[in-house]
């Protein structure tokens, strides 16, 4: 009874439809939030990068959905999720997710993400470690290291070829050309501009959190650091920095892979994460 | 019709292979290319040229703010304005402007502008500007807060000038327990406020609503200018009043010489140095600097900007990216376009790109002697 009351205190619970992988919009403390979900099993929340993989239910979500209840929310300000005006910092996004989990009644989740999504997951885990059962961070910024240079996405964002070179190990590969097209139409360009705007709000001032390293000791769950070995935006040295500060972390590199393993090495990405999460 | 002489203070010494070697004249162009010894001469010559226009019959001089670039060497235009105050007696000193979001606290702008206004005996025009896209890279200022900060800072500066201090200021981006700037401006209630813009809908509407003056930036196709001032008049109508000509400034590069042919020969190479080198990178707009609405408009208009698309002299003439020629040609074109656009202020200058000082001054003197008396009449037709 007390537990139920405690949950109610955080606002109305939201009931999701049963449809697999269809986007639906729920309201999180006034923020319209797009969410896709499918599958049954332990709750597994994937936090997306700024490259648009939350726009549709992709095959790798389906693969995870065979073992987990997979939830893929779209961050505030990205895609069709609203609430941008309430968000200024990564910490604001972490609070958005604790409110989302409260609304969905998720006490404990497997949590992780790629790039920006990984950073948000880390910020969540240092604040509410008891709610994270397992954590996976892929090619995630968030820390500073003098061992490698953090790339500048905002410098190359208008140059499609330079963007592919920064994000993919093989910039001429099929996936690179599919994800970053040479001649996107205006609608795609504006959607990308909006996502980059939402990203800029969070990371422009400082593309890392000076307090994060000192807080990572609070994360008590097993953590997987999975990195494209040739990431030029957030090089593996940033994964090593996480490794140094996280108490229970293992680091794995994906060969011949850049910043976006879910596109460039999908199978290895899906399986490594699935194996780590079900152990 | 008022005429202001505008100088960007460009760096004229970029290497010949600049275009092949560097992707931008802004933000990350290595500052080893700047030579302080040559820089000393440049400041001296540029300030001399600016100071000379008062006696040539111009109503004022304009300076502006840019950071980390070869396009304009005035990271602090207030320093140049301060020097010009000492070299002139009557003309207006227009700083257009201080990039408000780059100042924290923005009361720094209230203070420095009040200093300039008091020092000059009330000759300051206080320009307030958002700052170009590259500035947001150079100062690591969050572009997604640019417009919010700009408006908050502007309100704060105006309030600091018009409300007796001390008072407390609280807004999303700024908190100041004691706002109480010394000195206060000489012009009352405050110096005229000019806001430069590149045609973004947000800025046009904002300036119209506040009843300030809108200064259209040069280097766009004449069609963009037409839309810009029509849009401004429309926005003023929506705000419940008729726009005054002096609320609309027209930025246009001009050069006058003895004949059309000589003018083009003297002007063209220096203009291309400007258009092909110094403008490279100026359009670097960080995400969030524009709303999606304005970003879409900018995307559609990208062919109507001087940089890019291998423009030729024919494009320059057809698009009126500059007005160049004999006195007769320049008089005819200025009179035609100022009336068509309905503007009451013209911001012009000949010291563009790599133009040598002696040519810039010759052009200015001819403009003063042979053009200025014939382009003054009042009451544009719009």
Tell me the per-residue pLDDT of B176-212, one tens digit each, with 9 for 90 and over: 999 999 999 999 999 999 999 988 888 899 999 999 9
Mean pLDDT on B303-320: 93
Q: What is the pLDDT of residue B380?
A: 44
DSSP secondary-structure letter at B250?
E
Residues in chain A: 279
Reference A158, options B89, B24, B359, B231; nearest CA is: B24
Cis amide leading into B189 (omega within 30) = yes
Q: Min CA distance, B142 vs chain A (Å)?
A: 6
Closest partner CB to A194 (pick from B145, B286, B292): B292
pLDDT in tens, B352-381: 999 999 999 999 999 999 999 999 976 444
Name the 3-class secondary structure at B160: helix
Are the Cβ atoms of B288 and A200 closer than 8 angstroms?
A: yes
CA angle A100, A188, A266 (to 5 degrees): 65
Q: What are the CA-CA distances from residue B263 to residues A79, B57, B374 (Å)?
A: 53, 21, 19
Is the pLDDT at B298 greater than 90, yes or no?
no
Q: What is the pLDDT of residue B201?
A: 82
Q: Residue B1: CA atoms inside 13 Å, Cβ hemisphere, count?
A: 24
d(CA A203, CA A200): 5
Q: What is the pLDDT of residue A52?
A: 81
Are the Cβ atoms of A201 and B145 closer than 8 angstroms?
A: yes
Q: Which residue of A193, A203, A207 to mutate against B (max B Cβ within 10 Å)?
A: A193
Tell me which chain B residue has its CA closest to the CA of residue A195. B287
Chain A partners of B140 at a C-beta cutoff of 8 Å?
204-205
How high is the mean pLDDT of chain B? Answer: 95
Q: What is the pLDDT of residue B308?
A: 87
Chain A partners of B287 at a C-beta cutoff of 8 Å?
154, 157, 193, 196-197, 199-200
Tell me which chain B residue has its CA closest to the CA of residue A194. B292
Q: What is the pLDDT of residue B86?
A: 98
pLDDT in tens, B143-184: 999 999 999 999 999 999 999 999 999 999 999 999 999 999
Q: Residue B178: CA atoms inside 13 Å, Cβ hemisphere, count?
A: 3
Band the pLDDT of B382: cuts 50, 70, 90.
very low
Residue B23 neighbours by CB under 8 Å, 6+ apart? B280, B281
Tell me which chain B residue has its CA closest to the CA of residue A207. B140
Reference A90, options A118, A70, A67; nearest CA is: A118
Below-50 pLDDT ranges, chain A: 1, 5, 8-10
B269: phi then psi, degrees, rounded to nearest 5: -60, -35
pLDDT in tens, A120-169: 999 999 999 999 999 999 999 999 999 999 999 999 998 999 999 999 99
Q: What is the pLDDT of residue B80?
A: 98
Which two three-digit tokens encode residue B129? 């500007």
Reference A245, options A277, A273, A218; nearest CA is: A218
Mean pLDDT on B10-24: 97
Residues in chain B: 382
Q: What is the pLDDT of residue A1?
A: 47
Name the 3-class secondary structure at B238: helix
Bridge partners, residue B197, by sequence: B216
Q: Is B145 on the interface with A (CB under 8 A)?
A: yes
Tell me which chain A residue has its CA closest to the CA of residue B141. A205
Are the Cβ atoms of A201 and B142 closer than 8 angstroms?
A: yes
B167-170/B175-179 β-pairing? antiparallel
Contact A115/A167 with Cβ under 8 angstroms?
Answer: no
Is the pLDDT at B300 greater than 90, yes or no?
no
Cis amide leading into B166 (omega within 30) = yes
d(CA B213, CA B208): 8
A24-28/A31-38 β-pairing? antiparallel
Q: What is the pLDDT of residue A12?
A: 55
Are the Cβ atoms of B299 and A154 closer than 8 angstroms?
A: no
Are the Cβ atoms of A193 and B284 closer than 8 angstroms?
A: no
Tell me which chain B residue has its CA closest to the CA of residue A86. B172
Strands (E), B198-341: 213-216, 248-256, 322-325
d(CA B24, CA A264): 31
Alpha carbon A51 to chain centroid distance?
A: 10
Chain B partners of A200 at a C-beta cutoff of 8 Å?
142-144, 286-288
Q: What are the CA-CA distances from residue A209 to residues A90, A130, B371 (Å)?
A: 9, 21, 59
Strands (E), chain B: 2-6, 60-63, 92-99, 124-129, 167-170, 175-179, 193-197, 213-216, 248-256, 322-325, 345-349
Note the pTM of the prediction, 2 decimals: 0.94
Q: What is the pLDDT of residue B309?
A: 83
| A-contacting residues in B 61-120 (Cβ below 8 Å) | none
pLDDT in tens, B19-41: 999 999 999 999 999 999 999 99
Reference B216, options B347, B111, B376; nearest CA is: B347
pLDDT in tens, B225-255: 999 999 999 999 999 999 999 999 999 999 9
Closest partner CB to B144 (pick from A186, A190, A200): A200
Are the Cβ atoms of A190 and B288 closer than 8 angstroms?
A: no
Chain B partners of A186 at a C-beta cutoff of 8 Å?
296, 299
Q: Which residue of A83, A151, A155, A187 to mutate against B (max B Cβ within 10 Å)?
A: A155
pLDDT in tens, A35-61: 999 999 999 999 999 988 888 999 999
Helix (H) or strand (E) holding A249: strand A249-254
């Amino acid at each position: 009874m007390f537990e139920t009351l405690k949950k109610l205190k955080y606002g109305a619970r939201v009931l999701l439809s049963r449809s697999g992988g269809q986007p639906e919009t729920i309201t999180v403390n006034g923020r319209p939030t797009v969410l896709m979900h499918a599958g049954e099993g332990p709750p597994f929340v994937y936090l997306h990068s700024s490259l648009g993989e939350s726009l549709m239910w992709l095959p790798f979500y389906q693969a995870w959905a065979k073992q987990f209840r997979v939830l893929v929310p779209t961050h505030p300000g990205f895609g069709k999720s609203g609430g941008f005006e309430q968000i200024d910092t990564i910490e604001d996004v972490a609070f958005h997710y604790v409110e989302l989990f409260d609304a969905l009644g998720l006490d404990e989740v497997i949590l992780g993400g790629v790039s920006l999504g990984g950073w948000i997951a880390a910020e969540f885990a240092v604040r509410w470690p008891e709610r994270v059962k397992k954590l996976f961070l892929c090619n995630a910024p968030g820390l500073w290291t003098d061992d490698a240079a953090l790339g500048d996405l905002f410098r190359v964002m208008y140059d499609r070829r330079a963007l592919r070179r920064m994000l993919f190990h093989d910039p001429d590969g099929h996936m690179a050309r599919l994800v970053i097209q040479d001649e996107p139409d205006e609608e795609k360009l504006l959607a990308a501009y909006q996502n980059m705007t939402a990203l800029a709000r969070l990371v422009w001032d400082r593309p890392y959190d000076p307090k994060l390293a000192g807080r990572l000791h609070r994360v008590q769950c097993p953590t997987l650091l999975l990195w494209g070995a040739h990431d030029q935006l957030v090089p593996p040295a940033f994964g090593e920095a996480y490794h140094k500060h996280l108490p229970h972390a293992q680091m794995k590199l994906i060969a011949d892979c850049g910043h976006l393993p879910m596109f460039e090495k999908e199978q290895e990405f899906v399986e490594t994460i699935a194996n780590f999460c079900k152990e | 019709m008022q005429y202001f002489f505008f100088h960007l203070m460009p760096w004229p010494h970029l290497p010949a292979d600049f275009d092949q070697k560097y992707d931008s004249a802004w933000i990350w162009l290595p500052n080893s290319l700047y030579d302080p010894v040559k820089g000393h001469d440049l400041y001296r010559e540029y300030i001399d040229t600016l100071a000379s226009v008062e006696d040539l019959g111009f109503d004022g001089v304009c300076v502006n703010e840019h950071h980390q670039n070869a396009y304009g060497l005035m990271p602090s235009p207030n320093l140049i304005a301060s020097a010009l105050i000492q070299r002139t007696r009557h003309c207006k000193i227009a700083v257009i402007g201080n990039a408000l979001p780059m100042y924290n606290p923005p009361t720094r702008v209230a203070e420095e502008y009040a200093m300039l206004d008091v020092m000059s005996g009330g000759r300051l025009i206080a320009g307030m500007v958002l700052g170009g896209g590259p500035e947001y890279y150079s100062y690591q200022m969050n572009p997604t807060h640019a417009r919010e900060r700009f408006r908050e800072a502007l309100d704060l500066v105006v309030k600091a000038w018009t409300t007796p201090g001390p008072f407390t200021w609280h807004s999303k981006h700024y908190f100041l327990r004691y706002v109480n700037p010394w000195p206060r401006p000489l012009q009352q209630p405050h110096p005229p406020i000019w806001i430069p813009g590149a045609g973004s809908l947000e800025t046009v509407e904002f300036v119209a609503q506040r009843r300030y003056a809108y200064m259209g930036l040069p280097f766009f196709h004449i069609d963009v200018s037409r839309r810009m001032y029509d849009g401004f008049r429309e926005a003023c109508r929506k705000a419940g009043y008729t726009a005054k000509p002096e609320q609309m400034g027209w930025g246009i590069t001009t050069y006058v010489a003895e004949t059309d042919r000589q003018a083009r020969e003297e002007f063209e190479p220096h203009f291309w140095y400007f258009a092909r080198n110094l403008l490279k990178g100026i359009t670097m707009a960080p995400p969030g600097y524009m709303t999606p609405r304005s970003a879409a408009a900018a995307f559609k208009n990208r062919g109507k900007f001087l940089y890019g698309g291998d423009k030729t002299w024919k494009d320059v003439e057809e698009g009126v990216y500059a007005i160049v020629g004999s006195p007769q040609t320049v008089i005819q074109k200025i009179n035609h376009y100022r009336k068509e656009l309905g503007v009451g202020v013209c911001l012009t200058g000949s010291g563009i790109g790599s133009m040598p000082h002696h040519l810039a001054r010759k052009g200015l003197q001819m403009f003063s002697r042979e053009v200025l008396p014939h382009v003054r009449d009042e009451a544009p037709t719009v």
